[in-house]
Structure 1
Amino acid sequence: MARTLSIGIAAAALAAPQTPAMAETLREALLLAYQTNPTLNAARAGQRATDENVPISLADGRPSVNVNGSYQENVRTSANSFTAPSRLATGTVEAQLPIYQGGTVRNRTLAARDRVEAGQAELRSTEANLFTNVVAAYLDVISNRNIVELNENQVRVLDTNLQATSDRFEIGDLTRTDVAQAEARLSTARSRLEQAEAERQAAEENYLRLVGDWPDTLEAPPPLPALPNSPDAAEDIAIVQNPDLIAAQHRVDASRRDVGVARGSRMPRLSAFARGNYTNYLDTLGGAVGGQFVQEETTATVGLQATLPLYQGGRPAAQVRQAQARQSQAMETALATERAVVADVRAAFSRYRAALQVIESTRVAVEANELALEGVRAENSVGLRTILDILNAEQELLNSQVDLVTARRNAYVAGFNLLAAMGQAEAADLGLDGGVLYNAAGNYERVRNIWFDWDEDPRPVPQSTRTVDNPERDIVTNPEN
C-alpha cells in the first residue's frame, strides 16, 4: 500500500528537532504527543514491567546460593552435659540447582513470553489510539477556527446589512419590520459566534491535553495514503495487522501454557544440592572436662532431593480446571476482539466513503448558495426580493460553508480511523523516525537474560509534560461584535 501519509509527514524528519517547542504540522503534533503523552508513557512503563515476568520465571529454574550465619550463647546447659560449649558461631553455604520441576518453569516462561508479545501489540494499539485522537484534535482545532472565521465574517456582513437597512429605513425605502429582521439576524449571528468561540477553545484545550502544548498556526494535514477500495480488502489487512487482535491471540497462547503450569504441580520434582557448614566453639567446647577438643569443625554434603506429590487435597485438579476455564475465556475474548475489529473496519470504511460523498455534495451546495446570494441581492436592488430573502440566503450560505468545513474534517478523521483499524496508524507507519522511536522489543532483549541480583534501572522520573506548565491563554474577541 502506498505510504503517502508517511512520506508527507516525514518530509521534514531530519530537519525537525526531536522535541519541537510548538507543533505547527501534523507530524510535529504526533511526534510531540509520542514523546510527552502520559497515557503512552504509562503504557510503556507497564510493558517494561511485563517484560520482567520472563526473567522472574527463568529464575525458578536457575541455581540459587544462600549463606547463613549465627552466633549463640548457651546461658544455661544441662547438668549432665559436661562438654557443652558456652558459645559458638556457625556458618552455612548452600547451593541448589533445580533439575526437573514438572515442566512448570518451562511453561511459565513460555506463557510470560506470550504475554510480552501481547503487551507489545497492546502498546502498538495504545499508540494508534493516541494518534487517532491527536489527528481528530488537530483537525478539530483547524475546523473550529475556520468556523469561527466564517461566523465572524457573517457578523460583519450582517452588521453592514443592518446599517444599510437602517439607512434605507431613514429615507422611507424600507419598513421598521425590515430593520427588526436585520437586527434579529445580527443578534443570532453574534450568539453563534460566541458558541463557535467556545467550541474552538474546547478544541484547543483537548489538543493541549493530548499533545502537551497549545496549538499555534496549524498547517493543513498531508494527504492520507491510498486506502483499500472495498471493505473486504480492508478487513483482510486488519485480520493480519490489527494489534488488538494480535494481542488477543497471544493471550490465548499464554493461557494454554498456564494449563501446563497447573498440571506440573502434580509432577515429581528433582533438584541437586551442595551444603557446607562451619562451626567455631570459640574455645568453650569441653567445659569442665579436661582434654583436648577440636574447637572448629567443617562439614560438606552433596546430593539429590526428589519430591513426589501423592495427594494435595484436590488443589492441583482445581488449578488445572481453573486454567482451562481461563483458556476458554481467552479464546472467546479473541473471537469477540475479531468481531469488534471487523465491525470497526467496516464501519470506518463506510464512514470514510460517506464523508467523501458529503464533501462533494456540500461543495456543490456552497457554490449554489453563493450564486443564489448574488442573485437575491441583485433582485433586491430592483425590488423583486425583500431583506428577509437576503438574510435567508446569507444564512444558507453560512450553513453550507460550515457543513463543508465539518465534512472535510470528518473525512480525514474517518480515513485515519480506517488506517488505525487496519493496524497501520502507529509510529513506524507515520514516519516518526530520526531515532525517536520507542523500542519495546529492545527492552525485553535487554532484561530477559540478566542473572545479576543487583542489576537495577535508574530511579524513575516523569517523562511527560504537565498541563499546568501551559497556562490558559486569553481568548481575544472583537468587542464590537
Structure 2
Amino acid sequence: MAETLRDALLAAYQSNPNLTAAREGQKAINEGVPLAKANGRPDVVAQPTYFENVLQDTGASVVQARGFNVNASVAAPLYAGGGIKNAVRAAENRVEAGFANLRGAESAIFSAVVGAYMDVIRDEAIVDLNRAQVGVLQVNLEATRDRFEIGDLTRTDVAQSEARLALAVSNMEAARANLIRSKEIYIQLVGRPPENLEAPPPLPNLPETPDSAVKVALDNNPDVIAARETREAAGYDRRAANAARLPTVSVFTQGSYSNALNSVSSNIPGFQADNSALNGQAGVRATIPLYQGGQPAAQVRQAQARLGQAQELEIAAEREAIAQTRASYASWRASLDVITSSERAVAANELSLEGTRAENSVGNRTILDILNAEQELLQSKVQLVTARRNAYVAGFSLLAAMGRAEARDLGLEGGALYDPVADFQKVEDAWNDWSSQADPQVKASRTVDTPAQKAEIEPLPQ
C-alpha cells in the first residue's frame, strides 16, 4: 500500500513526541491563570489542636490537664494595588503566547516531516539512477573489453571504463547510505517506516510576490504573535510589580473554640471553672508597607528590564519572519527555475549521449566521450530530482513562515484536531481545591521496534 504525504503528516500530528510534549507544556501554562486568580479569592483556614499538659504548676489555683482548640479564619482581599488584576492579565497573555508557540511547534514538525518525506523520495530516485548507471557502465565495460580483445580499443579505454564503473559503484553506495539516513529521520518524525511514498500534492495558496507573503506573515506567523503576546504579558508584569509598594486592604472574620474536655480542676472552694469558650471577630485589615529593604524598587526595575527585553525580542521575531519569508520565496522561485533548466539539460544530455554512441560506432568519438556523456546525463537527472525536492520543501517552508502550514490549513483528516482553547477553558475559572484529573498517559509512539532501514528499492518505471 502506498503512503501519502497527508498520511505522514497525520501520523506525526497524532504521535510525534515533540508535538505531544508541546501540548502538555501548554496545559501547564494554562494553569497560570487560575493560579493568579486564586490570589484574589477568599482564603479559608481551620486549625484544630489537641494538647496534653504534661508539666504544670501543682500549686496553681486552677489546673487543666488537657484541651481541644479550633481556630478558623476567612479572609478576602478588597484592594491589592492592582497586583492581582495585572497578574491575571499577564497570565492570560502568556496563554495566548503559548497558543502561538504551539502553532509554531506544529508548523515546525510539519516542515520537518515534509522535508523527510521529500528526502526519501529524492534519495530513492538517486539510488535508482545510480544503480541504473552502474548497470550501464557494466555493459560498457564488457563491450570495451570485447573490443580490446579484437584490437579495436586500447588498454587505456578499458582502464577508463573500469575507473568509471568503480566510481559509479562508490556513488551508489553513498546514495544508499543517504537513503537509509533519510528513512531513519522519517521514522523519527512520523513514528513508522516509509512505505512506497506517493508523489506529494501541489501546495495551495502560494503567494505571487515576496511582499504579499511578508504581509501575510506579519499577521499570521506564530513566532511573531507569540513575541507580541509575551511583550503584552511583560507590560502587565511591570504594573503588577508596582503593587508591592502600595497598601492592601482585606476583610476577615475569625473565630476560636476551646474545650478542656472536663479536665479543669480548682483548689478554690466553691469555684466552678468553665470547660469551654467561644470567641469570634470580623473586621477590615489594611497593610501599609513602610520600608521593605528596597525590594519593591528592585522588582519594578527587574520587570522594566524584562519588558524592554520582550519589546526587543518582538522586533527580532518580526525581522526573522520577514527574512525567512523572503528567503523561502526566493528559494522556491529559484528551485522552479532550476527544475525547468534541469529538464532541458536532461533532454539535451539524452540526445547528446545517443549521438556520442552513434559517432563512436563510426570512430568519431572515444570511449571517454561516451563515459563523459553518461556521467553528464546522470548528473542532470540527479539535479532534476533534487530541484523538485527543494522546490516543494521551499514552498512548504514559505507557507510555514506565512503561518499557513498547520493542521487546519492542510485539512488533515482522521479524527478531531487538538483544541488548545478547549483545554484552557476547562481550567480558566477553576476554583475547587480538590478537583483533579488522571495522570497523563504517553501519547507518542515508540520506534524501538521498527527494523533498521535498508536501501533496497524497486526500480523506477522507465
Q: Where on the TM-score scale, by shorter chain, does this alignment land: which range? A: over 0.9
Query: Which residue of structure 2 aligns with residue 367 of structure 1?
Result: 347
- The offset of 1:271, in angstroms, is 1.1
Query: Which residue of structure 2 aligns with residue 161 of structure 1?
Result: 140
Secondary structure in 1 matching 2:438 = coil
1:428 and 2:415 are equivalent in the alignment: no
* Amino acid across the alignment from 1:347: A
Query: Which residue of structure 2 aligns with residue 403 of structure 1?
Result: 383
Identity percentage of aligned residues = 53
* Amino acid across the alignment from 1:287: S
Distance 1:76 1:191 in 2: 93
Secondary structure in 1 matching 2:407 = coil
Distance 1:435 1:107 in 2: 38
* Amino acid across the alignment from 1:340: E
- The offset of 1:389, in angstroms, is 0.8
Specify every segment of 5 or more residues in structure 2 that has no aligned partner in the other structure, as ranges: none
- The offset of 1:256, in angstroms, is 0.5
Secondary structure in 1 matching 2:439 = coil
Secondary structure in 2 matching 1:227 = coil
Distance 2:161 2:66 in 1: 108
Query: Which residue of structure 1 aligns with residue 427 of structure 2?
Result: 447
Contact kept in structure 1, 2:336 and 2:391, CA below 8 Å? yes
- The offset of 1:408, in angstroms, is 0.4
Q: How does 1:88-107 map to 2 (within 5 A)?
A: 88-107=67-86
Query: Which residue of structure 1 aligns with residue 293 of structure 2?
Result: 313
Match for residue 183 of structure 1 among 136, 140, 162? 162
* Amino acid across the alignment from 2:231: V
Match for residue 287 of structure 1 among 250, 262, 266? 266
* Amino acid across the alignment from 2:387: A
Query: Which residue of structure 1 aligns with residue 438 of structure 2?
Result: 458
Specify every segment of 5 or more residues in structure 1 that has no aligned partner in the other structure, as ranges: 1-21
Contact kept in structure 2, 1:23 and 1:32, CA below 8 Å? no
Q: 1:23 to 1:40 in 2, by over 3 A?
A: farther
1:260 and 2:239 are equivalent in the alignment: yes
1:58 and 2:37 are equivalent in the alignment: yes
- The offset of 1:266, in angstroms, is 1.2
* Amino acid across the alignment from 2:288: L
Query: Which residue of structure 1 aligns with residue 202 of structure 2?
Result: 223
TM-score using structure 2 length: 0.96
Query: Which residue of structure 2 aligns with residue 81 of structure 1?
Result: 60
Query: Which residue of structure 2 aligns with residue 6 of structure 1?
Result: none
Query: Which residue of structure 2 aligns with residue 5 of structure 1?
Result: none
After superposition, what is the alpha-carbon deviation per residue over 1:331-365, rounded to whole angstroms, capped at 9, x for unaligned?
A: 01101111111111111111111111111111100
Contact kept in structure 1, 2:180 and 2:454, CA below 8 Å? no
Query: Which residue of structure 2 aligns with residue 138 of structure 1?
Result: 117
Secondary structure in 1 matching 2:71 = strand
Secondary structure in 1 matching 2:264 = coil
- The offset of 1:477, in angstroms, is 8.8
- The offset of 1:294, in angstroms, is 2.5
- The offset of 1:313, in angstroms, is 2.0
Query: Which residue of structure 2 aligns with residue 11 of structure 1?
Result: none
Secondary structure in 1 matching 2:105 = helix
After superposition, what is the alpha-carbon deviation per residue over 1:149-201, rounded to whole angstroms, capped at 9, x for unaligned?
A: 00000001111111111112222222222111111111111010000000000
1:271 and 2:265 are equivalent in the alignment: no
Distance 1:436 1:154 in 2: 48
Contact kept in structure 1, 2:67 and 2:258, CA below 8 Å? yes
Distance 2:192 2:414 in 1: 21
Query: Which residue of structure 2 aligns with residue 172 of structure 1?
Result: 151
Match for residue 415 of structure 1 among 395, 408, 425? 395
Contact kept in structure 1, 2:180 and 2:453, CA below 8 Å? no
Secondary structure in 2 matching 1:76 = coil
- The offset of 1:428, in angstroms, is 0.9
1:438 and 2:413 are equivalent in the alignment: no
1:245 and 2:224 are equivalent in the alignment: yes
Distance 2:2 2:18 in 1: 19
Contact kept in structure 1, 2:253 and 2:280, CA below 8 Å? yes
Alignment RMSD, CA only? 1.5
Secondary structure in 2 matching 1:256 = helix
- The offset of 1:67, in angstroms, is 1.3
Contact kept in structure 2, 1:270 and 1:304, CA below 8 Å? yes
Query: Which residue of structure 2 aligns with residue 200 of structure 1?
Result: 179
Secondary structure in 1 matching 2:409 = coil
1:347 and 2:327 are equivalent in the alignment: yes
TM-score using structure 1 length: 0.92
Contact kept in structure 1, 2:45 and 2:72, CA below 8 Å? yes
1:70 and 2:39 are equivalent in the alignment: no
1:24 and 2:3 are equivalent in the alignment: yes
Distance 1:409 1:93 in 2: 71
Contact kept in structure 2, 1:23 and 1:215, CA below 8 Å? no
Q: How does 1:120-135 map to 2 (within 5 A)?
A: 120-135=99-114
Secondary structure in 1 matching 2:448 = helix
Contact kept in structure 2, 1:23 and 1:29, CA below 8 Å? no
Distance 2:41 2:60 in 1: 44
Contact kept in structure 2, 1:358 and 1:407, CA below 8 Å? yes
Distance 2:342 2:216 in 1: 32
